[in-house]
């Protein structure tokens, strides 16, 4: 990987980028892919690609946005593949599509959080991704815009619409308690 | 009049700059409708972040350590740019001189290769048996030497090459010579 006018990065630079970016990538990937193992693999793959391809970036921030984009796309693909797989198995076993509830989910707090998670999953991808980067990646609007290649104004609108829809869904599901 | 609801969403993300931020705060304090909207957004945010912080820290720490270990094993230390991949920059006279030298050397070696009588580097090395120089005047010694040559029986030791670095000009020279002869006879 190269930063700043073609100067090769040192191992220390790479480590710094890794330490500051890994938590963001892992949280975002975990939320989208829904599996710690998958999130770990996806993050590793992104860093490895960065290194292997000799990517050039003007600065460490741009490298971070590239990593976020790669992990986000990889995680979305993983989630779609898993969903297709799940549906295929369900058809094969002629199962009801409702997820089996565990004993733990009787707790109200967990119930609410599960329903919000499901509501988030029902959002269209363009709204969902922006909100995930906001809430799990803890990035600001500008950073989200850079990572996704959209304008800051577009990020504002999408975060707002995503929140409005979640709030509406929570209200409709009866999980919203004032 | 209430501000756009989008501003409330931006506000809880800390994305409203200073003079407007204070104005909005003042409005939220006096408008229950907007205040409840802000609470709603905050709750959505808190739930999403809450679920992340419940599951993530331990798993993430383990993953972070494991992935770093794998990366260090899988990736060599950052590569320096190889001298071969750098563009070669030469002043024009030097470049012309270099081209001429290459052309002369190439023409010379091609000439040798095309000539079937030219000595070429043998693909096998024949060991020269060292014989002491014998003065012709000493006839007895000369006869003795010739006797030893007869009885010793023309033993020539041929060493096959010990490695596979065959010298250019062995087999290819023969092939080229044949090619050359062919063209001459035509």
What's residue A42's pLDDT?
95
- Residue A21 and residue A91 in one domain: yes
Which range, of A13-17, A49-53, B58-62, B86-90, averages the lowest pLDDT?
Answer: B86-90
Residues A114 and A162 in one domain: yes
pLDDT value at A72 more than 90:
yes
Report the pLDDT value the prediction gives residue A87, as an integer from 0 to 100: 85
Is a pLDDT exceeding 80 seen at residue A161?
yes
Beta strands in chain A (DSSP E): 2-3, 7-8, 56-57
Residues from chain A contacting residue B56 (CB–CB below 8 Å): 26-27, 30
Residue A95 confidence class, pLDDT cut points 50, 70, 90: low
Task: Identify which has the larger pLDDT, B49 or A170.
Answer: B49
Q: Is the pLDDT of residue A123 over 80?
A: yes
pLDDT band at A132 (very low <50, low <70, confident <90, very high): very high
> pLDDT per residue over B136-186, tens digit each?
677 777 777 777 666 555 556 666 656 665 555 555 555 555 555 444 444
pLDDT beyond 90 at A133: yes
Which residue among B36, B49, B67 places its CB closest to the CB of A40?
Answer: B67
Q: Do B52 and A135 touch (CB under 8 A)?
A: yes
More confident position, B73 or A178: B73
Residues A89 and A149 in one domain: no
Find the closest chain A residue to B63 by CA distance.
Answer: A40
Q: Across residues A135-144, what is the average pLDDT?
A: 92
Instruction: Chain A: give the shortest CA distance to residue B123, in Å.
Output: 43
Closest residue by Cα to residue A45 from B74, B149, B144: B74
pLDDT in tens, B89-138: 677 888 888 888 888 888 887 766 666 554 544 444 444 455 556 666 77
Residues 6+ apart with CB under 8 A from A4: A58, A59
Averaged pLDDT score across all residues of chain A: 82
- Exposed / middle / buried, residue B170 (Cβ in 10 Å: 0-12, 13-18, 19+): middle
Domain tally, chain A: 2
Q: Say whether both A74 and A150 belong to one domain.
A: no
* Cβ <8 Å between A113 and B71: no
Question: What pLDDT, on a 0 to 100 scale, did the predictor assign at position B157?
Answer: 63
| Lowest mean per-residue pLDDT among A68-82, B26-40, B85-99, B123-137 | B123-137
- Asked if A44 and A122 sit in the same domain, the reply is no
3-state secondary structure of A177: coil
Instruction: Work out the minimum CA distance from B40 to partner chain A, whole angstroms.
Output: 7
Q: In this structure, are A60 and A129 located in the same domain?
A: no
Look at residue A143 in the predicted model and tell me its pLDDT: 94
Same domain, A86 and A113: no
Mutate which: A54, A109, A122, A135, vs B, most B CBs within 10 A: A135
Same domain for A88 and A108? no
Question: Are A7 and A34 found together in one domain?
Answer: yes
- Residue A108 sits in a domain of what CATH number? 1.10.10.10
**Residue A93 CB-half CA count within 13 A:** 8
Name the β-bridge partners of A57.
A3
Split at pLDDT 50, 70, 90, the class of A159 is very high
* Per-residue pLDDT, B163: 61
Residue at a domain's end among A69, A96, A123: A96
* Mean of pLDDT values over A24-53: 90
Which residues of chain A lie closer than 8 angstroms to B87, CB-CB?
none
Q: Which of A47-56, A117-126, A150-159, B133-142 has the highest mean pLDDT?
A: A150-159
**Percent of chain A's residues with pLDDT above 90:** 46
Q: From CA A11, how far away is CA A160, in angstroms rounded?
A: 40
Are residues A91 and A163 located together in one domain of the fold? Answer: no
Q: What is the pLDDT of residue B93?
A: 82
CATH of the domain at A2: 1.10.1740
Residues A114 and A147 in one domain: yes
Q: Pseudo-torsion of CA B166, B167, B171, B173, nearest 10°? A: 170
- Helix B5-12 vs helix B18-30: crossing angle, to nearest 10: 110
In this structure, the answer to whether residues A27 and A86 fall within a common structural domain is: yes
Domain boundary among A42, A74, A96: A96
- A96 vs A42, higher pLDDT: A42
Domain ranges, residue A172: 103-178
Provide the percentage of residues in chain A whose pLDDT is more than 70.
81
SS3 for B97? helix
Domain end (from A81, A96, A111): A96
Partners of B74 on chain A (C-beta within 8 Å) are: 48
pLDDT at B184 (0 to 100): 45
| CB-closest option in B40, B67, B68 to A167 | B40
């Amino acid at each position: 990987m190269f930063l700043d006018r073609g100067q090769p990065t040192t191992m220390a630079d790479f480590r710094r980028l890794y330490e500051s970016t890994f938590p963001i990538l892992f949280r975002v990937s975990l939320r989208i892919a829904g599996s710690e193992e998958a999130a770990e693999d996806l993050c590793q793959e992104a860093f490895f690609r960065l290194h292997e391809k000799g990517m050039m970036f003007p600065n460490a921030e741009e490298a971070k946005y590239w990593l976020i984009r790669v992990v986000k796309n990889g995680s979305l693909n993983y989630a779609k593949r898993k969903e297709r797989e799940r549906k295929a198995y369900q058809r094969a076993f002629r199962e009801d599509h409702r997820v089996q509830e565990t004993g733990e989910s009787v707790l109200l707090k967990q119930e609410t959080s599960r329903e919000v998670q499901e509501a988030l999953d029902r959002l269209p991808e363009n709204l969902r991704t922006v909100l995930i980067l906001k809430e799990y990646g803890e990035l600001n609007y500008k950073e989200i815009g850079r990572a996704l290649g959209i304008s800051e104004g577009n990020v504002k609108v999408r975060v707002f619409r995503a929140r409005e829809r979640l709030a509406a869904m929570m209200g409709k599901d009866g999980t919203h308690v004032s | 009049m209430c501000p756009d609801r989008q501003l409330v969403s931006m506000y809880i993300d800390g994305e409203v700059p200073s003079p407007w931020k204070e104005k909005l705060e003042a409005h939220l304090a006096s408008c229950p409708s907007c205040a409840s909207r802000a609470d709603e957004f905050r709750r959505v945010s808190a739930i999403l972040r809450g679920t992340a912080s419940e599951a993530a820290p331990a798993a993430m720490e383990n993953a972070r350590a494991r992935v770093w270990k794998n990366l260090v094993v899988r990736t060599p230390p950052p590569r320096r740019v190889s001298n071969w991949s750098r563009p070669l920059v030469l002043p024009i006279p030097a470049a012309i001189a270099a081209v001429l030298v290459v052309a002369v050397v190439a023409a010379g070696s091609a000439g040798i290769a095309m000539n079937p009588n030219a000595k070429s580097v043998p693909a096998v090395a024949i060991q020269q048996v060292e014989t002491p120089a014998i003065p012709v005047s000493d006839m007895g010694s000369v006869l003795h030497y010739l006797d030893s040559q007869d009885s010793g029986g023309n033993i020539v030791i041929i060493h096959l090459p010990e490695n596979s670095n065959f010298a250019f000009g062995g087999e290819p020279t023969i092939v080229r010579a044949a090619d050359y002869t062919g063209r001459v006879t035509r």
